[in-house]
A = this chain, B = another copy of it.
Amino acid sequence: MILLTRKADFSSAHFYYNPSLSQAENERIFGKCANRNGHGHNYTLEVTVAGEIDPVSGFVVDLKQLKDILEREVVSVYDHRHLNHEVPEFANTIPTTENIAVAIWKRLDGKVPNAKVLRVRVYEMPDLFADYYGESA
């Protein structure tokens, strides 16, 4: 078994706000992130797939196909979007780095032919990232 990791980027707006809490509680927990005009980030996504090397191609997974899957399932939905307002999974879920990693794992799980999506890593900033290995990990 070998692992292959490909990165992709998306630039999105978001904010952190839990409507079941008061404004003051939101500000205490989320600080500047509670500003509902939103702010934004250049997110970096790393998707790691695991599989066997195909002896004909030398690939675990067709790179062009993997890039197309990431584009179709994630980048086209998240990039240049306001996550809270335009991405359905964040209508009622706060788009923290952790929740974004879980959401992307759910979008990709089972979509890559001949390989397993082992890990989704999401960087919100170069100094902060979340890793999700799926529900069985």
A positions within 8 Å CB-CB of B: 1-9, 11-14, 16, 18, 20-21, 29-33, 35, 37-42, 48, 53, 56-60, 62-64, 79-82, 85-86, 93-99, 101-102, 125-133, 137
Partner of A82, one of B1, B39, B128: B39
Please name the 9 residue pairs, one residue from A and one from B, whose CB atoms are nearest each other, closest first. Answer: A40-B40, A58-B94, A37-B82, A32-B80, A58-B96, A7-B127, A13-B13, A3-B131, A13-B40
What's the Cα separation between A93 and B54 when bound, in Å? 11
Q: Which residue of B lies closest to A16 (CB)?
A: B58
A96–chain B nearest beta-carbon distance, Å: 4
Tell me if B132 and A79 are in contact (CB < 8 A). no
Tell me if A98 and B128 are in contact (CB < 8 A). no
- Which residues of the partner chain B approach A32 to less than 8 Å between Cβ atoms? 79-80
Please name 29 pairs of A and B residues whose Cβ atoms are closer than 8 Å in the assembled complex, sorted by A.
A1-B137, A2-B130, A4-B97, A5-B129, A5-B130, A5-B131, A6-B128, A7-B126, A7-B127, A11-B39, A11-B125, A12-B39, A12-B40, A13-B82, A14-B40, A16-B57, A30-B57, A31-B64, A32-B79, A35-B86, A37-B86, A39-B79, A39-B80, A39-B81, A41-B41, A58-B93, A58-B95, A59-B96, A59-B98
